[in-house]
Amino acid sequence: MTSATTRGGDRRVSPVFLGITAVMAVTGWAVWTDFAGGPGIAVFLFVTAAWIVSLCLHEYAHARTALHSGDLTVGAKGYLTLNPLAYTHVLLSIVLPVLFVIMGGIGLPGGAVFIERHRIRGRWKHSLISAAGPLTNVLFAVVCTAPFWLGALDGVPVAFRFALAFLALLQVTAAILNFLPVPGLDGYGVIEPWLSHRIRRQVEPFAPFGLLAVFVILFIPEVNRAFFDAIFAVMDGLGVSRAEVACGQDLYRFWTEQYPVCTEAVSR
């Protein structure tokens, strides 16, 4: 009886996650209804809360897939409660991704659930565990852009539409960056089980620096331009224009000088 109760507690949704979800819902309503009069702070809180929710779901997807693949320890570690404070590195999984959104408007991949891989048998299972996180970002992006590619924007307030566009951009960048086959990122985790033992041993020392290397390379103007061209090609395919994304980011960063065209569009 005690064991069963413990397992149930390990999987109960955390009040912390419920609180963040409540902030997302309330501020989303505030953006939709223009309750605050000016959308800036409401958009900031809505997008930030929704981004944190997506990060929690990303890590939950890794943990839940690992659980069904044979690692029964993820529950005791708190990974199934969706509590962001339970992650191995809160700084990497939550704080840095939020700071990158605030400073640069890019979806930084998180990543800090410790999976005991030796408990899992089968290369496909290992690959699926790694893919589950970024696939959650893909699903989140599809949901955010559904009104755009379905042509269902009638009645959607302009500020809310811009906020969704920016939130979708974060999900698309997070998914693409995570799927890069770079050591330390989920994309490498997908292919790693299929590599030879020798190659894995050679690559292993570079894993802690993979994400840093990606961002250093992204500072190269030509690479940065090509990367965002690819991002916006995906966004265009989902029916979201660059102008809508730019206005969403503009509203999100309410403390900076806003573009008149965005302000005018929202005030109509």
Helix H or strand E encompassing 244: helix 242-252
Name the nearest CA neighbour of 237 among 164, 148, 140, 159.
148
Q: What does the alpha-carbon distance between residue 209 and residue 144 come to, in Å, rounded to a whole number?
A: 31
Burial string for 2-33 (b: 16+ CB within 10 Å, else e) reads: eeeeeeeebeeebebbeebbebbeebbebbbe
Q: What does the alpha-carbon distance between residue 268 and residue 264 come to, in Å, rounded to a whole number?
A: 6
**Can 257 be counted among the known catalytic residues?**
no
| Residue tagged active-site, from 59, 192, 204, 257 | 59
Q: Collect all residues with Cβ–Cβ distance below 8 Å to 2 and sequence separation of at least 6.
A: none
The alpha carbon of 64 is separated from its chain's Cα centroid by a whole number of angstroms, namely 17
Q: Which positions are annotated as active-site residues?
A: 59
